[in-house]
Structure 1
């Protein structure tokens, strides 16, 4: 009979659960092949399940049991909607609000690095001309980065700013790939604009 050890240790996405050489991954856990480390993919309680004595693989299985019904969780390859919170010289941070059509219930932070803003002329990207705090962006989740933030990309045509407010508080209208215009003041502001599906 498998022995289950429930630990009252609450873990969150991106937390290290062990080495792949020491533990097997169960529900709510995944292994990062580049460093052979097992991470939690959702918020919940860490649990270790011992193998049966006759099992050829004697590593315990580590899993994360959801502590409550949780909303959507960002995963590499998923498209998210996020609100830009801070823009710095080499990156912008954002709060992820939706994964696909589903809203998230927990706080997930995303980072858009300078090299992930667009596909061309990466070295010429000016973060302050691509995003402003408060902008709503559509982005692709690249990977779980460090400090429990997801690395996001807006490098495809359909990714980027989908909604932005001008300095006068009006919702701006996209007029090109790189510009949005305020309908009230007609002032033009630079952005990395998402292509609207026509």
Structure 2
């Protein structure tokens, strides 16, 4: 078997298997002790105990990951890291985003971050409005400036290369940047305001 199991999950009756690594016996059942892959092995001919000679051994081992999978699974945003994120909601004070790429590598899990109104751009900070800088669904290039609190990373787009890189208009059409604060619909030509990232 190569099934993924969780701790406490029954794997079979104790009389049918010899318990191996990563399992234990509880109430007559072989039970997983960790998250991992189930493996059964046929009895070896060197086993001299006739009672267990014909009984397979069952064990649970941690899943093996490739180097890329392991790096992605443990990838965490850090201060100064450049991230790609998706705007999930906005209010007058900040945009909440879901981080899915860190330093060019796709994350194993999405992390939540916020772009506060004072971190949107470097100049004219007192004139910044979140509603004209970002919209839900926008893809934003940003930089981590603080690990923030327990639930959010604090991000900044206060640089020419940072800001919205992909967006859709209110009508759902793709838009392209025409200057540092405006994007234009490819279909209707309607212009909407954004904090635009300078293209590379």
TM-score (norm 1): 0.64
What is the RMSD computed on CA atoms of the aligned residues?
1.2
Aligned 1:179-194 pairs, distance under 5 A = 179-194=182-197
1:113 lines up with 2:116 in the alignment: yes
Which stretch shows the higher mean deviation, 127-136 or 164-173? 164-173
Give the structure 2 partner of residue 48 of structure 1.
Answer: none
One of 91, 96, 100 as aligned partner of 1:88: 91
**Shift of residue 167 of structure 1?**
1.8
Deviations 1:5-28, CA, capped at 9 Å, x for gaps: xxxxxxxxxxxxxxxxxxxxxxxx
Counterpart of 1:5 in structure 2 is none
Return the TM-score normalized by structure 2. Answer: 0.63
Question: Runs of 5+ in structure 1 lacking a partner?
Answer: 1-67
Aligned residue for 1:158, secondary structure, equals coil
Match for residue 149 of structure 1? 152
1:1-198 equivalent positions in 2, closer than 5 A: 69=70, 70-197=73-200
Residues 71 and 106 in structure 1, CA contact (< 8 A), matched pair in contact too: no
> 1:72, CA displacement in angstroms?
2.2
Unaligned runs of 5+ in 2: 1-64
The ranges of structure 1 where at least 4 consecutive aligned residues each deviate by more than 6 angstroms after the TM superposition are none
- Cα distance between partner residues in 2 of 1:194 and 1:72: 24
Which secondary structure state, in structure 2, belongs to the residue aligned with residue 123 of structure 1? helix
Decide which structure has the larger Cα Rg and report it: 2
Deviations 1:41-85 (A, max 9, x none): xxxxxxxxxxxxxxxxxxxxxxxxxxx841421100000000000
Q: Distance in 2 between matches of 1:186 and 1:123?
A: 30
> What secondary structure, in the 3-state scheme, does the structure 1 residue paired with 2:179 have?
coil
In 1, Cα distance between the equivalents of 2:173 and 2:187?
Answer: 7
Deviation at 1:170, TM superposition (A): 1.8
Q: Which structure features the higher share of helix residues?
A: 2
Tell me, in whole angstroms, the C-alpha distance in 2 between the residues paired with 1:117 and 1:147. 22
The offset of 1:147, in angstroms, is 3.5
